[in-house]
Every structure is written in structure tokens, then in C-alpha cells.
Amino acid sequence: MKVSITIPTYNRSQYISQAIESAINQSYKDIEIIVIDNCSTDNTEELVNHFQDKGVKYIKNHTNIGMMGNWNRCIEVSTGELLMILGDDDILYPNFIEESVSIFEKHPNIGFTFTHINKVDKDGKPLTKWGYKFTPAGLIKGRDYLLDTAKYSSCLTNSSSVLINKEVFKKIGIFEAPLSQNTFDFNMWIKIANSYDVYFIDKVLSDYRIHEEQVSEIHWRDKKRHTGKLGTYIELFQLASYLLKKKEIRRDEKDYESIINQIAI
């Protein structure tokens, strides 16, 4: 199965080389690596061009189309059966793709796989695991992923830990922000789980870098703004809508009450 590792980027010259190197060093070799530059004004292009002899493809947008628009470009330009959207400041462990593809070989109709991921500081020093609650390991029914998301009232999945079946986009569409601009990735995991089963690999297989310039700093760690939390709450209402349309949920009093109680909180 061919895998597309796409790296959407904007002015991330400090970290982009490490992200690319981690993609090149994958033990699984049937991959393409594409960097989609959202009109950077730093030396990103120069750095990426150093990897041309490694087969890394570089695409530069004519104008800045926003973060979500650039993620959708990843879908558009990739040619693999499976898609990874790797943060330009994050790092994959060498066996990430191999471990993830092995699950699709056993379960070809799932929507996505996801793994544990470590938080690291700007210098790559480990801090802690990302997230504090996770689903059980293994194959997860889509409705159960949604129920766990409602239970913990948070996004259980980090994009740099996800490998996506590209077939899902034909059914559910591309990334969009109908409810909140800063949670379009969370919105996608919810939409996929509403139509597909997913799989959790209970291993740390990538690093998520914490630093002052990342988008999460604006939406989650700025004490004067609470856009991240607010966006999450709004997405949870959409999730509840999906769940309450499922007949098996409406018939299960325990699940029904759980949804009502969690979303009400």
C-alpha cells in the first residue's frame, strides 16, 4: 500500500528539516513525501530543496490559503492509498508507517489508525504523553470512539499520530470548519468515526513539539483566550447530534444518559 506523508508548512524553518528527516527514515519504503509550503517568507524552500535527492517533492502555494486550506491541499496532491498529514514541527519514529500500514492490511475498511504521541519541548526533550485519556487498544467501533470522545469531552487523536484511509474523503468530504475555525481536525475525526471504525495502536510512535510559535499556543495556552476549549465544546454538540441519530444509541438507556450528562457538563 502506497503511503503519502504530507507536510503542510508555513515559516517553520527552525523545525522543518527534522520533520522531513523523520519521514525519510521510515522503515516502510513505499512512500511519497510532499512538503506543501503555504507561501513562507523564511528560508523554508531552500531547506526543503536540500532533500530533493531523497525524493522529497516541494510544492509552494501561489498565495497563503490558510492552515485548513493547506491541509486540504495535502489531500489534493497526494497519490497514496493512505495519507499522513505530519506537523512541520513534529517527528515520526522510524516504525510509525510500518506499524500503521500493518493494521490497514488486516482491516482495510477502517477510517484511520492513531497512536500514542509524546509531547516534547522546542529542543526535543520529552515532557509527557499527549492527552490524558485514550480509547482501549485495537479495533474500535466508530460509535464507541464517539462515545469515548463524549465521555472525556476532548479530542482523543493528534493529527501527527494518524494515518488516514483516503477513501474516506470521497464519502465525508474534505476538512471544513462549519462550527469552529480552530478545531477542523477534531471535526474530521468525528466525521470519520461517524461512518467508519478506527484503530488505536497503543504505542508512542511520534513526537508532538510544544513551542511558542505553534497554533495550539494561540488557541489553548493563551490564558486570555479560550478559543480551543470553546471550539471543542461546540464540536461535542455536533458529535452528540451524530450519536443521537443512531438507533442503537437511542435504544440503549445507559449510552443515551451518558451522552446527555457529558455534553451538558
Which has more pLDDT, 234 or 56? Answer: 56
Amino acid residing at 2: K
Name the residue type at position 172: I
pLDDT at 226 (0 to 100): 54
Region 231-260 average pLDDT:
70
For residue 163, count other CB atoms closer than 10 A to its CB: 27
Residue 221: helix, strand or coil by DSSP? coil
The predicted model gives 166-174 an average pLDDT of 97
The closest alpha carbon to 8, from 101, 63, 83, 85, belongs to 85
260 — pLDDT class (breaks 50, 70, 90): low
pLDDT digits (tens, 9 = 90+) for 75-116: 999 999 999 999 999 999 999 999 999 999 999 999 999 999
Q: Which residues, including other chains, have CB under 8 Å from residue 212's CB and lie 6 or more apart?
A: 122
Q: Tell me the C-alpha distance between 97 and 77, whole Å.
A: 19
- To the question of pTM greater than 0.85 for the whole model, the response is yes
Confidence of residue 245 (pLDDT cuts 50, 70, 90): confident
User: What's the rounded mean pLDDT across residues 137-153?
Assistant: 91
Tens digits of per-residue pLDDT, 39-83? 999 999 999 999 999 999 999 999 999 999 999 999 999 999 999
Mean pLDDT value across residues 216-220: 54
SS3 53: helix
Amino acid at 262: Q
pLDDT of residue 192: 97
**Among residues 83, 82, 81, which one has the least CA distance to residue 73?**
83
pLDDT mean over 225-243: 74
What cell was used for 175?
Answer: 476538512
Strand partners of residue 7:
35
Q: How confident is the model at residue 221 (pLDDT cuts 50, 70, 90)?
A: low
Question: Which pLDDT does position 209 carry in this prediction?
Answer: 93
- pLDDT for 129: 83
Question: What is the model's pLDDT at position 265?
Answer: 47
